[in-house]
Amino acid sequence: MKCSRCRKTAVINLPSHNAAFCRDCFLDFFLKQVRRGIEQHGLISEGDRVLAALSGGKDSLALALALHELGINVTALHIDLGIGTSSDKARAVCERFCEGHGIPLIIKETAEDGLAIPRVKEALNRPICSACGKIKRYFFNKIAMDGGFSCVATGHNLDDEVARLSSNTLRWDKGYLSDQGPLLEGSGGFARKIKPLWRLTEYETAHYAFLMGIENHYAPCPYSEGASFSVLKRLWQDLEEAMPGRKISFYQGFLERARPLFAAEETENGDALKPCALCGYPTSSDICGVCRIRRTVQEKADLLHA
């Protein structure tokens, strides 16, 4: 197989783009797709300071590196969840990566706020994943706002987005359908959220990470039940194989034709936000979700020491 551009030997075949690429042309293609994704939805403007969420997984590392390679002013943020060796390893990967590439790194330990995940897990009588996600998003936002960053970037790729969109569509969840997309504008205490890898698949992103020598030693979370949306992602692989190009046309078609309808309705009927009485974070309740978690953890601790 030859590279569609330069006719050297190809290292990757991309049926949905009707193309194959050698190493250099693929890296060029990858960055061009990231840039196109950014420009298509105005994710980043001249002079923006981007805070990239860095879990230590290959998608988030690829995101930070691609933004850096594109000459964008990017700072990485790693949230240390305090989950024993799993968190230690992830943090060490992020530190080595950022040092190696000269990307500034902020580390936030949730334990500082009494929110080490094992402690939260002990205190809560429900699955930890959604609480952990809430805590991470809370700190992404808080650190972006406090640090004067223009936006928070996450490493969600096309497969993540398509699986999430399918899940939202299977349930016809109008609230989630009203704001899913590569850009969520900032407003009322919320930083702008962007997903610059939305045009790239998991496969393409993994290849970029591999070809750029990104370390792949990420230890999966011991509390997680494995990859989310795994059933839907498998179905989408089958569908994409049968109909190449379907993933991105489904996602783009949604953004162009359907999301505006859901968004218009949400603007009319959505919950109004106000600052959390405890921490000032925007919320539709009196007290935000993370302060409620914090309170539960504290009550549990008080009970044990009473």
What H or E segment, with its residue span, contains residue 258?
Answer: none
Answer for which of 1, 6, 129, 235 binds a second copy (CB under 8 A) is 235
Give the count of beta carbons closer than 10 Å to the beta carbon of residue 241: 11
CB of 156 to a second copy, least distance (A): 20
Answer for which of 122, 261, 295, 299 binds a second copy (CB under 8 A) is 261
Spatial CB neighbours of 172, under 8 Å, sequence gap ≥ 6:
none
- 236 versus 281: smaller Cβ distance to a second copy: 236
Say how many CA atoms lie within 13 Å of 241 toward its Cβ. Answer: 6
Cβ–Cβ < 8 Å for 52, 60: yes
- 1 versus 261: smaller Cβ distance to a second copy: 261
Whole-angstrom distance, CA of residue 297 vs CA of residue 123:
5
Please, what is the Cα angle at 153 between 64 and 196, to 5 degrees? Answer: 80
Answer for which of 46, 146, 225, 256 binds a second copy (CB under 8 A) is 256
Our finding on whether 249 is near a second copy (CB under 8 A) is: yes
The binding track of 165-204 with respect to a second copy, each residue x by CB under 8 A or -, is: ----xxxx-x------------------------------
Our finding on whether 227 is near a second copy (CB under 8 A) is: no
Please, what is the Cα angle at 148 between 146 and 151, to 5 degrees? Answer: 105
Answer for which of 253, 269, 271, 295 binds a second copy (CB under 8 A) is 253
Our finding on whether 164 is near a second copy (CB under 8 A) is: no
Our finding on whether 238 is near a second copy (CB under 8 A) is: yes
Span of 56-64, 144-152, 211-219, 248-256 interacting with a second copy by CB under 8 A = 248-256
Whole-angstrom distance, CA of residue 168 vs CA of residue 160:
12
Our finding on whether 92 is near a second copy (CB under 8 A) is: no
CA nearest to 53, candidates 137, 176, 169: 137
CA dihedral 179, 183, 186, 187 (to 10 degrees): -30
Spatial CB neighbours of 203, under 8 Å, sequence gap ≥ 6:
none
- 210 versus 229: smaller Cβ distance to a second copy: 229
- 70 versus 239: smaller Cβ distance to a second copy: 239
Residues that bind a second copy (CB under 8 A): 169-172, 174, 231, 235, 238-239, 242-243, 246, 249-250, 253-254, 256-258, 261-262, 265
